[in-house]
Amino acid sequence: MPNLHALANPRRFLSIARPMTSTCLWTGAALIMIGCWAGLTQTPPDYLQGETVRILYIHVPAAWLGMGGWSGVALSSAGYLVWRHPLASIAARAIAGPGAVFAGLCLITGSIWGRPTWGTWWQWDGRLTSMLLLLFVYLGYLALARAEADRGGDGRVPAIFGIAGSVLLPIIRYSVVWWNTLHQGPSIGLTSSTIDGSILWPLWLMLPGFTLLFAGIVLMRMRAMLASVRAEARLRRMATA
């Protein structure tokens, strides 16, 4: 199995990323379709929330990937600052875009879920507010990375921002424990869940499905970014020839 330094070689990375992209995308899409079918047709409505509970099959993976995406940005940023390898910086920028989309999807589905459940579209409580802040941090990172690239910077400023933004992750995770919040407390753990199994089981298809889809999109974006870097380098060589 190749080590991390071998994978950091762009040519070696591309040789693995090309087949993995389609594998992740198609497998993820298949799991999502099966999970949607199961969640919409094979599970009963909740005794309190009724049919509204089915939003969890989108909302929970979106929340997971919104937070997990920023974890990837932070780890890639740390890798870039330590080893100064441009592939780590590319990985951080490739993750940030889809991560922002899933953070936004988490907020949208949560709002739709909250309207019939809580009687309001939005409430400034700990979980909702901290997730909204994470979306703004994503957008700030994307703007900063674009500005840094336009001025020809070395990428250290976005990397530092990527690490600093990770302070929000434990706040989001434990907000329902630390504060009296409208959002329900932790309902899914490693060994137990407060959600009945007859409703919960399609989620175990949706979570890996969306995760694989996310991974496929990130790999596709990294390949496109590497191609753009190579094209720019080729144009510069032609201009100086």
DSSP string, 9-63: SHHHHHHHHHHHHHHHHHHHHHHHHHHHHHHHHSSPPBTTTBGGGGGHHHHHHHH
Give percent of the chain with pLDDT exceeding 70: 87
pTM: 0.89
For residue 15, give both structure tokens.
């040789």
68 pLDDT above the threshold of 50 = yes
Average per-residue pLDDT for the chain: 87
- Locate the domains of the chain by residue range: 55-182+202-240
Give the torsion through C-alpha atoms of 95, 97, 103, 105, to 10 deg. -130
Dihedral sign of CA atoms 66, 151, 12, 17 in order: positive
* Distances in whole angstroms, Cα of residue 7 to Cα of each of 18, 87, 93, 135, 188: 13, 9, 18, 30, 34
The whole-number pLDDT of residue 1 equals 39
Structure confidence by residue, pLDDT tens digits, 171-216? 998 887 777 777 776 667 655 677 778 888 999 999 999 999 999 9
Q: Are 199 and 144 in contact (CB under 8 A)?
A: no
How far is C-alpha 223 from the chain's CA centre?
A: 18
Structure confidence by residue, pLDDT tens digits, 122-181? 888 888 899 999 999 999 999 999 999 888 878 899 999 999 999 999 999 888 777 777
